[in-house]
A and B are shown apart, each in its own frame.
Chain A
Amino acid sequence: MPVLEVKNLQKSFDSLEVLKDIGFSLEKGETIAIIGSSGSGKTTLLRCLNFLERPDRGQILINNGIIFDAADPRTQRESEIRKKRLHFGLVFQSFNLFPQYTVLQNVKLASELLAKERPDYKKNKKRILEEIDRKARFDLSQMGLDSKLDYYPHQLSGGQQQRVAIARALSLSPDVLCFDEPTSALDPELTGEVLRVIRALAEKRTTMIIVTHEMAFARDVADRVIFMDGGVIVEQGSPHEVLENPKEERTKQFLSRFSEQ
């Protein structure tokens, strides 16, 4: 049973059709890499999954339950969308850490705010907060950041900041963790450390969708590769199939342009 199913997703900005009939599914523990040139709709797709954009058509299902249906306004209530977002985590290209909080606080903030909505919060406050603290420290140590807990974002390198952002996205234990070109804003010598922690997550069977321009990384880490162009999924399959033996002409063109660089 797939964790995530996307059906017939469409999104236009004014007259520009960015997503045309996108459909795919994702199994639990699977890692998908989405590749494609700029403007192909990859980022918009991730933003739709995280409810930062509202699709014009289509459905999003989590564990076979419809969480979004463009034809059904009842699935689009603002109050519920906030909770539905929690099925997904998103790591941004530009990190977007909160500058006034330390690394540890960045990771804990959302969990602490959500905990206040629990009916048993007052009664078990101490235990709940300890649990949040433990999880945040654990996630950060997975990212190799034990020694940076009390640093502020501006005191860290880009690679360290992005690893904090990954720990923050993991803090609410999302069903699907999305990455929007996680290394594109980094100096080349810093991409390695970020790719390493994402690879470690893939090895632990974290369910992930990774939009990336790192072809070698996609080949290594992804269980499946999706090639998007012009707002449609042109080709998908194992990394070997899509990256080594593409069937579609457009995929071949895209990959050859990449190997030239």
Chain B
Amino acid sequence: MSFSVIISKLLESFVINCEIFAVTLAFALPLGLIIAFGSMSRFKPLSWLTKTIVWIIRGTPLMLQIIVLFYGPGLIWNNNLWGSGYSGRMSACIVAFIINYACYFSEIYRGGIESIAKGQYEAGQVLGMTKTQIFFKVTLLQVVKRIVPPLGNEVITLVKDTSLARVIANKEIIMMAQEYASKGLIWPLFSTAVFFLVAVGLLTLLLNWVEKKLSYFK
């Protein structure tokens, strides 16, 4: 098999990694904020419930969560709600990723929000601002500035975690490369590193750019 055919096959399967990455981010970033507000709620049952969920999700391997989410409904209720085939396996996988990453993001948001000095809220209050105005006009950008570095870490981890999708037979890049390896061709597996390195390299540039954009204030 020619080099270019293998590379294009790998590229094709890397689209799955990219898809998981993009959809997870798109949903986990806002969901994380909702979870963060839940865990900071003054209504105790809600904050306990949220904190317990975050503990369970952060306390167990993502690989296990993907497996349980995909096979669980079928085994427990005898009902495979994900449907069969590619789209079912992909949906289950992406939902597991979204829940998992939203929990990590929520803790980063919570830390960021709680790190804003009380004086910022009070200054807004004595100037007659509403709570919503204080959040959007005063604290939000300060929170964003503080959470970009830890969020960047998680985002980069997510790029590489996408290869866990293979545990329920989503043919992402490493699974594809291993098929060649089992046929005795080892270099495609090693070459997958390049795909991840390029993706992470681009993200690092983007994150640096965002950090620089926010460096005009302290």
**What is A's interface to B at a CB cutoff of 8 Å?**
50-52, 82-83, 85-86, 88-90, 92, 94, 96-100, 109-110, 113-114, 152-154, 168-169, 171-172
**Is the beta-carbon distance between A96 and B120 smaller than 8 angstroms?**
yes
The 8 closest A-B pairs by CB, nearest first: A110-B127, A96-B119, A96-B123, A154-B218, A99-B217, A90-B126, A100-B217, A86-B128
- Given contacts A99-B218, A109-B137, A113-B137, are A92 and B119 in contact (CB under 8 A)? yes
Inter-chain contact B128/A172, CB cutoff 8 Å: yes
Q: B133: CB under 8 A from chain A?
A: yes
State the CA gap A109–B127 with chains docked (Å): 9
Residue B4 at the chain A interface, CB threshold 8 Å = no
For A52, the chain B residues whose CB sits under 8 A away are: 122, 125-126
The residue in chain B whose Cβ has the minimal distance to the Cβ of A90 is B126
What CA separation (Å) do A86 and B217 show in the bound complex?
28
Which of A98, A109, A153, A171: most chain B Cβ within 10 A? Answer: A98
Give me 17 A-to-B residue pairs in the complex whose CB atoms sit less than 8 angstroms apart, sorted by A's number.
A52-B126, A86-B128, A96-B119, A96-B120, A96-B123, A98-B120, A98-B138, A109-B137, A113-B128, A113-B137, A152-B216, A152-B218, A168-B127, A169-B126, A171-B127, A172-B127, A172-B128
Q: Quick one: which of A92, A100, A113, A154 contacts B122, CB cutoff 8 A?
A: A92
CA distance A97 to B125 in the complex (A): 13
Task: Name B133's closest neighbour in chain A (CB-CB).
Answer: A113
A152 & B128 in contact (Cβ 8 Å cutoff): no
**Complex formed: what's the CA distance from A92 to B126 in Å?**
10
With contact pairs A152-B216, A154-B217 given, residues A96 and B128 touching in the complex (Cβ less than 8 Å) = no
Given contacts A152-B217, A154-B218, contact A110 B128 (CB under 8 A): yes
Output the nearest chain A residue to B139 by Cβ-Cβ distance: A98
Q: Which residues of the other chain, A, contact B119 by a CB distance below 8 angstroms?
A: 92, 94, 96
Chain A nearest CB from B85 CB (Å) reads 49
Note all chain A residues with C-beta closer than 8 A to B138.
98
User: What are the interface flags for B101-136 relative to A under an 8 Å C-beta threshold, 1 for contact and 0 otherwise?
Assistant: 000000000000000010110111111111001000
Q: How far is the CB of A35 from chain B (nearest CB, A)?
A: 23
